[in-house]
Amino acid sequence: QVQLVESGGGVVQPGGSLRLSCAASGFTFSSYGMHWVRQAPGKGLEWVAFIRYDGSNKYYADSVKGRFTISRDNSKNTLYLQMNSLRAEDTAVYYCAKDHRATAFDIWGQGTMVTVSS
């Protein structure tokens, strides 16, 4: 069945870096755009980044632009999020999600927790 599994979360100090991964299965990964969405503890959903199916276009939320980089390896069916210069406000559960017609998110992973704290 269609599945997305995130990994790589953990505790990191402010100013540190972390790389998240999202392993996809059950669909043709190379044919779909992919997103990262996050949710701070007790808060709502916030879109983070999008990458086109072939990696040719990438978009970022203003809150992470210049610090986070989204990428993908279609040969490994894997999506990545490189997070640098992390701040306390980046603390959240990070979800990867499959794109639906470039406007919505139709399949979500279970999420991975990132905590930025000294």
111 binds another protein, rule: CB under 8 A: yes
Residue with token string 């998110």: 105
- Taking the C-alpha atoms of residue 29 and residue 13, their distance in angstroms, rounded to an integer, is 33
Min dist CB 12 to another protein, Å, is: 22
Binding mask 64-93 for another protein (x = CB under 8 A): ------------------------------
Rg for the chain, CA atoms, rounded = 13
95 binds another protein, rule: CB under 8 A: yes
Among 9, 59, 74, 77, interactor with another protein by CB under 8 A:
59
- Taking the C-alpha atoms of residue 33 and residue 47, their distance in angstroms, rounded to an integer, is 14
Evaluate whether 10 touches 16 at the Cβ level (below 8 Å).
no
> Looking at 9-17, 71-79, 83-91, 107-115, which segment touches another protein (CB under 8 A)?
107-115
Pick the closer one to another protein by CB: 65 or 76. 65
Give burial (CB, 10 Å; 0-12/13-18/19+) of 65. Answer: exposed
- Taking the C-alpha atoms of residue 56 and residue 117, their distance in angstroms, rounded to an integer, is 34
Min dist CB 75 to another protein, Å, is: 26
Q: List residues near another protein by CB under 8 A.
A: 35, 37, 44-47, 50, 59, 61-62, 95, 100-106, 108-111
